[in-house]
Amino acid sequence: MNWIEALILGIVQGLTEFLPVSSSGHLEIVKALLGDTSLAHESMLMTVVLHGATALATLIVFRKEVIEIFRGLFQFKWNEETQFSLKIVISMIPAAIIGVLFDDQLDALFDKQILLVGFMLLITGGFLFLADKAKTTNKGVSQRNALIIGIAQAIAILPGISRSGATISTSVLLGIDRTKAARFSFLMVVPLILAKMGKDILGGEIAFESTTIIPMGVGFVAALITGILACTWMIKLVKNSKLTYFAIYCFVIGLLAIGAAIF
């Protein structure tokens, strides 16, 4: 993979991680369009690096909230920040269980499975369409809701199911305030991404070679910059109920991916 291909993948990841159109699905489609011939584990390496960049983008955009959370934890008090942290932990449980039990099977899904991506994008579109029709409320995220949203996040491990789309749509359908839904959705994935990166590094599954440093670096920076822009934009879109446009986009790209895979 050269630096130009890495730049394209980084921009795609940065935009689609936060926009509800499935970053993993789009990465697989773009890899196929670029004629990516890398091995599955090399392809997964780039995916992990790009997800690390968007995790950092999330921390930058929500830096005030993150600082407040850590400040609350270090005070050792049962306050709002501590309760929010507990909800984040609860939301991680379903995806963590799936990741531990089916790690090898999940890696195989990120190897040019364009037909699967197409069908999953159709499902994502359906979620977004329903969420945009839901009534707006001022409810917050309860512990029970955190678990349900976490299940949606676990399902979104499949390439083509948008993680942000699934979690935000689930939150809105549960009656949670749209701004709070977006905030919780973006923050809840950060610990999982960091844990996944740590597991792969400690397990020796990620081994950087001198020939991959420049492409990986270019992809990381591109994903970081576009991720910051997309995250900020997405918060406004969710608040203003603009998800139907993304639903239509997912339907179109999903059908095109299915057609390309079959024909």
Q: What pLDDT does residue 210 have? A: 62
From residue 167, how far is each of 68, 71, 133, 180, 228 by CA, in Å? 23, 26, 16, 12, 19
Query: How many other CB atoms are found less than 10 A from the CB of residue 21?
Result: 25
From residue 48, how far is each of 9, 54, 138, 144 by CA, in Å? 12, 10, 35, 30
Give the model's confidence band at 36: pLDDT under 50 very low, under 70 low, under 90 confident, else very high: low
Mean pLDDT of 169-183: 91
Indicate if the pLDDT at residue 150 is higher than 90.
Answer: yes
Q: Alpha helix locations (H) across 19-102?
A: 23-33, 40-61, 63-74, 80-101
Mean pLDDT of 199-207: 66
pLDDT tens string 55-107: 999 999 999 888 887 777 677 677 788 888 899 999 999 998 987 887 777 76
Q: What is the DSSP letter of 211?
A: G
Count the domains in the chain. 1
Can you say how many angstroms the Cα of residue 11 is from the centroid of all Cα atoms in its chain? 14
Residue 176, strand partner residues: 139
Q: What pLDDT does residue 42 have? A: 57
Domain range for 60: 3-262
8 A C-beta contact, residue 46 and residue 68: no
Q: What pLDDT does residue 39 have? A: 45
User: How many residues are there in the chain?
Assistant: 263
Mean pLDDT of 6-24: 88
Give CA–CA dist 169/130, Å, rounded: 8
Q: What pLDDT does residue 211 have? A: 64
Mean pLDDT of 17-23: 87
pLDDT tens string 225-259: 999 999 999 988 888 878 889 999 999 999 999 99
More confident of the two residues 207 and 80 = 80
Mean pLDDT of 6-19: 90
Q: Record the pTM.
A: 0.83
Percent of residues, the chain, with pLDDT higher than 70: 89
Query: How many other CB atoms are found less than 10 A from the CB of residue 131?
Result: 24
Mean pLDDT rounded to a whole number for the chain: 85
